[in-house]
Structure 1
């Protein structure tokens, strides 16, 4: 295993969401073309983990080990929640690109069984990211799909961009300014061999992080961090970065005075660490198995 670390080797490996009924959730994400690439069971702690990814022949991470991928979704299921009447689900409707309400006609949103929003965008280039009208209605091939990005809402864009770029080594792929609506979008990721897109077209990538910033929130003293204001609990969602050397990466974070939620030496699990971003989102740090030559679990 490497004794040094290089952020060029890092990957935005997965996004974790907590689910009520894994059978229903897996069925939904399989409908979107994803596959379960790893299932970890922890009966003593009464929870299971399901890692889903696009894994067809043309998928960007096809055949890679679980933690040597980008764009993975981790479903965490605590035993018994599927039968818990107090665990509710969202009942909001989906929106199609042609729905009369709403002005953004080139995206759609579906809801998974737990009410998490899944944004649907086109990988085809067109005006303002829209699908070419000549291509509409020609069918779809789930084998070409990507788990493109995960969105988190941030209070102070400058602080968040500094954290994800300077501490985690991500690159800024694209900035979308919506001044009329008073918000900006920032897309970050690890470019790997593809490099950062020169034209800002990011729909063909996987494993990007979208930061959504509403103007003025950084000056709102009454607005707490994400974990103190959102309805979901702190552990209902987090993002995970895989690194070339877990020990060396954590040592590097120490030199940068990163804010820790869990160091490697804390708790029972000695093979994962957690940082806190400026809004209190948990960032898991795990070993990329390609560099260690062995499975993490």
Structure 2
């Protein structure tokens, strides 16, 4: 067994693609489109690992997704942590910081939390 991908359902696919590109440098690596146009899956990659984030867009979905208490998150390691942190602060997307352990979280357009970790020192 090995990891393949993780999924986030998104309301506005173009807004999400723009966010993941600008905030995290994640780029589309493949996609699937329903023959009837009812859904689109876009898989994002970091260009360094095989792990992918699947963004699922449903044509008929108009309401924000209920993420509950958001007791889950995706985590990424930044090899240029201080630079990325500054960028995320300027973008206004940092929602929680834990300075004592040296991590922080950002939020995407749909409310998903993403943890940013420094490279192990």
Same fold (TM over 0.5): yes
Partner of 1:112: none
Larger Rg: 1
Structure 1 unmatched runs, 5+: 1-31, 33-145, 193-204
Contact residue 37 and residue 59 of structure 2 kept, 8 A: no
Instruction: Compare the two structures and name the one with the higher strand fraction.
Output: 2
2: CA distance between counterparts of 1:252 and 1:284? 15
Among 47, 55, 63, the alignment partner of 1:211 is: 55
TM-score, length-normalised on structure 1?
0.38
2: CA distance between counterparts of 1:186 and 1:251? 28
- CA shift, 1:278, in A, is 0.5
Partner of 2:88: 253
State the 4+ residue runs in structure 1 displaced beyond 4 angstroms: none
Partner of 1:187: 43
| Residues paired across the two proteins, number | 121
1:269 aligns with 2:100: yes
1:157 aligns with 2:1: no
TM-score, length-normalised on structure 2?
0.88
Residue 247 to residue 270, structure 1, CA distance change in 2 (3 Å): farther
> SS state of the match for residue 166, structure 1?
helix
Partner of 2:4: 148
> SS state of the match for residue 163, structure 1?
helix
1:283 aligns with 2:114: yes
Structure 2 unmatched runs, 5+: none
1:240 aligns with 2:75: yes
1: CA distance between counterparts of 2:26 and 2:37? 27
